[in-house]
Structure 1
Amino acid sequence: MSAQNRIFDDLSRLMTNAMGVAQGARSEAETAMKSWIDRWLAERDFVTREEFEAVREMAIKARAENTELRARLDALDSKGADQG
């Protein structure tokens, strides 16, 4: 009976070690894949979400300023036409 328990203990230890190795390999594979993807994306000059949002906000502000300036120019044109 003692020999059978020892076999089960050894088998259990072996399985536990195998699970540790498998988890380590999984972690290394995930890290390698993430590094590869990051490198691939960087080579293609993709922008981050933060960069996109910053440029988007700049464009919205520029459009609003453009509209405001256009209205001021139109007002100046109409005053000039009234005086001329």
Structure 2
Amino acid sequence: MQTRNPLLNDFADLMTDAFGAAQAMGEEAQAMFRARADRIIADMDLVSREEYDAVKANLADAIEIIAALEARVEALEKASEKKPVTRKRKAPAKSAAAKSTD
């Protein structure tokens, strides 16, 4: 009685090769998809996370500066409202007779 059938061995080898080829094709398809996705993303001109974080930090700084400047302008406006504007009076013009005696 034979324990190993050559036909089954050949079939098992064929299946092993087929699964290996299918796995290789899957990996190649995944690599092609990633390459295409990377190219599409590069063409979209997206910003990197580092650039986004830097712009976000600059915006936060600008908002703080604007808030400080708004408070300063408001304080200056309140200070100018409290003090009424006074004008110096002009000295009365000397008459022609007074000028001639000088």
Q: Aligning the two structures, in what range does the TM-score lie when normalised by the shorter sequence?
A: 0.7 to 0.9
Larger Rg: 2
What is the aligned partner in structure 2 of residue 58 from structure 1? Answer: 58
Q: What CA deviation, in whole Å up to 9, does each residue of 1:5-28 have, x standing for no partner?
A: 111111111111111111111111
Q: Which moves more between the two structures, 44-53 or 5-14?
A: 44-53
Matches within 5 A, 1:2-81: 2=2, 5-81=5-81
Superposition RMSD in Å: 2.2
Structure 1 SS opposite 2:5: helix
User: Which residue identity does 1:76 align to in structure 2?
Assistant: L
Structure 1 CA distance for aligned equivalents of residues 40 and 8 of structure 2? 47
Structure 2 CA distance for aligned equivalents of residues 29 and 23 of structure 1? 10
Kindly tell me the number of residue pairs found equivalent between the two proteins.
84
Q: What CA deviation, in whole Å up to 9, does each residue of 1:25-61 have, x standing for no partner?
A: 1111111111111111111212234433332332233
Identity %, equivalent residues: 34
Q: TM-score, normalised by structure 1?
A: 0.78
Residue segments in structure 1 that go unaligned for 5+ positions in a row: none
User: Which residue identity does 1:79 align to in structure 2?
Assistant: A
